[in-house]
Amino acid sequence: MIDELKKELILLSDEKYKKFSSSLLPNVDNILGVRLPTLRKIAKKIAKSNYKDFLIQNDNSFAELTLIEAMVIGLIKDENEAFELAENFISKITNWSICDTFCASFKFFSKNKTKTMKLLEKYLNSKNEFESRFCFVVLLMYFIEDDYVYVFDCLKNFNNNAYYAKMAAAWCLSYCLIKKFDTCILDIQKNNIMPWVARKGVTKALESYRLNEIQKKKLIEFRKKIKN
């Protein structure tokens, strides 16, 4: 099965898209250049048929195979099986593209917050760059609206200097500011969030059209006060 899939992916590869993808993922050297909509179609087909064989046989020799695996796990209908596979998959997250695709694909993260929180607790304090990023991408995608206090507590305790982990935390903070501005602006003023994350999060929030000029002025003033 996996050999046939590899042949199919090679035929579907696009050299221009490969160069574009490689420019975004400079440390990834196994990209074929197959577009995400095509990978999603393949993942849906696998999820409806022999996905267990695929998961067993997958050797992740191409970046696209890992992305397909992320998508297939997200399509599994049995919640317990899906969460078990999700936890096993986390160790395969080695770049931001796999991380964000997986988080966006796994809908049980929003449907079962209790089980998701238990999973996140295992990785929130991880020094691994992409285990940490995984947590904050899940938080920003599924938790801010209904579980803001939990999200902000995670941001307060964030302490990972790896670039893609910090970027996810900053992205998460920017969403907190956009969606819960009045509460979040007070929280960041009285809590010690990592300065790099606070500055980058504020900068990203300032790019949003959802904040008005008065809110943006408050953020600019706060940003000036952030110490290195």
Extents of the domains making up the chain: 1-106
pLDDT at 227: 80
| Nearest by Cα to 66 from 21, 14, 115, 111 | 21
> What is the DSSP secondary structure assignment for residue 21, as one 8-state letter?
H
CB-facing half-sphere around the CA of 221: CA atoms within 13 A:
8
Residues 71-125 have pLDDT tens digits of: 999 999 999 999 999 999 999 999 999 999 999 999 999 999 999 999 999 999 9
pLDDT at 29: 93
Q: How far, in Å, CA of 46 to CA of 52, rounded?
A: 9
Residues 132-182 have pLDDT tens digits of: 999 999 999 999 999 999 999 999 999 999 999 999 999 999 999 999 999
For the chain, what is the total number of helices (H) and then of strands (E)?
15, 0
- Cα torsion 15, 16, 21, 25 to 10°: value is 80
pTM: 0.94
One-letter-per-residue 3-state SS of 24-42: HCCCCCCCCCCCHHHHHHH
- CB count, 10 Å around CB of 101? 22
pLDDT at 91: 95
Q: With contact defined as beta carbons under 8 Å apart, do 100 and 137 qualify?
A: yes
Residues in the chain: 228
